[in-house]
Amino acid sequence: MKTEHLSLSDLTNIYRIMLLSRKFEEKIVELFHSGKTRCFTPHLGIGEEAVSVGAFYGLSKQDLISPHYRGATAAWLVRKLPATELMCIYLGKKSTGLANTMAVQWTTNMTLNVIGMASSILGGGIEIAVGAALGAKLGKTGQVVVNSFGDGTTNRGNFHEALNLAAVFRLPIVFVCQNNQWAMNMRVAKAVTVGKISKRAVAYGFPGITVDGNDVLAVHQTVQEAVQRARDGLGPTLVEAVTYRMSPHSERDPDQYRAEAERRKWRRKCPILRLEATLKAKGMPQEELLNIQQNAADEIAKAVDEALSRPDLTPEDRLQQWSAIYREIYI
């Protein structure tokens, strides 16, 4: 792992966020299967943390991010959304802070400059992110947009329309394809004939780069270079980060279509263990690593406790809230 571009405190922070995301999502699995969640079936990104964290870490607060639904947990944690608030969305509880306004975990939060979808239609977020980049360019705000999506989404028409539009307008945006090699039960090789998804950038005349998506520092460095390019007015880049979906497609997916051996092989490539090895090599004492791990576990346990102590967000609450918005719109 190349680490020259990051300080030890950045490396530690990246490690901490990845761990938090992992522990958060492992907790969601447990809560979902014990019937304690009240949300859309979780679609988790366990094992894919390096992509979100690497892509979204180190931007300015004004820069906009637009994360893929799978990996949104890590993206929110990068943007410092407290774990308790995100937990409230999964547990169907009233949040009192920054997540208060969010109906689902992959939507928009203007305070945190996160631009997301108001549906679950893949590719919609890419177009909206392109629009945010257009808005930034027209307004000469200097903001850059980093948008991530899955390999499956690159087969949708709006991916192609959006990338072409971004190219012809030379918009300040970085596209990050989180290629986890599976779209539900379809292997990426059966859905894409060009081999590397980054090759698709050729069609739009901007650079496409494939990077090891389990190497958080490689993802980070590649995206940061693309961000600089975007900031310099040189237009978009497509970064393909190749990772592996350790989670089933969703928590309702029995995941019977792939061999255990394949999962086992990728478990050994765990992005968190890899960063841990790097930190050790840099001289971080075992004791400090254990300390970070314990703190992350404590933080998630506390988030669950706090979220569970919040009042339920009932269907009546939502109905009242949305009816009030309806009245604001039409009256």
Partner 1 sequence: MAELTFREALRQALREEMRRDPNVYLVGIAIGSYRRGGVFGVTEGLLEEFGEERVIETPISEGAIIGSSIGAAMLGKRPVAEIMDAEFLVTCFHQLVYEASQMRFFTSGEAKVPLVVRTAFGATVNAMPIQQQSPESWFLQSPGLKVVMPSTPADAKGLLKAAIRDDNPVLFFEHKKLYDIRGPVPDGDFVIPLGRAEVKREGRDVTVIATAWMVHEVLEAARRLGSRGIELEVVDLRSILPIDKKTILESVKKTRKVVIAHEAKKTGGVGAEVSALIAEEAFEFLDAPIIRVAGPDLPMPFVPSSEDIVQAVESLLRA
Question: Rule CB under 8 A: which residues touch partner 1?
Answer: 100-104, 107-111, 115, 117-119, 121, 124, 126-136, 138-139, 141, 157-158, 161-162, 164-165, 168-169, 321-322, 325-326, 328-330
Using the structure block, give the residue that is written with the tokens 């410092």. Answer: 80
Give the nearest distance from C-beta 41 to partner 1 in angstroms.
Answer: 18
Give the nearest distance from C-beta 67 to partner 1 in angstroms.
Answer: 14
Residue 184 or 319: the one with the smaller Cβ distance to partner 1 is 319
**DSSP secondary structure of 256-313:** -SS-HHHHHHHHTT-HHHHHHHHHHHTT--HHHHHHHHHHHHHHHHHHHHHHHHSPB-
Using the structure block, give the residue that is written with the tokens 């089933």. Answer: 248
Give the nearest distance from C-beta 175 to partner 1 in angstroms.
Answer: 13
Residue 121 or 281: the one with the smaller Cβ distance to partner 1 is 121
- Distance between CA atoms of 106 and 307, rounded to whole angstroms? 19
Q: Is the separation of the CB atoms in 258 and 266 below 8 Å?
A: no
Using the structure block, give the residue that is written with the tokens 């948008």. Answer: 147
Give the nearest distance from C-beta 186 to partner 1 in angstroms.
Answer: 22
Residue 236 or 271: the one with the smaller Cβ distance to partner 1 is 236
Residue 76 or 182: the one with the smaller Cβ distance to partner 1 is 76
Give the nearest distance from C-beta 64 to partner 1 in angstroms.
Answer: 8
Residue 169 or 266: the one with the smaller Cβ distance to partner 1 is 169
- Distance between CA atoms of 38 and 54, rounded to whole angstroms? 30
- Distance between CA atoms of 307 and 85, rounded to whole angstroms? 7
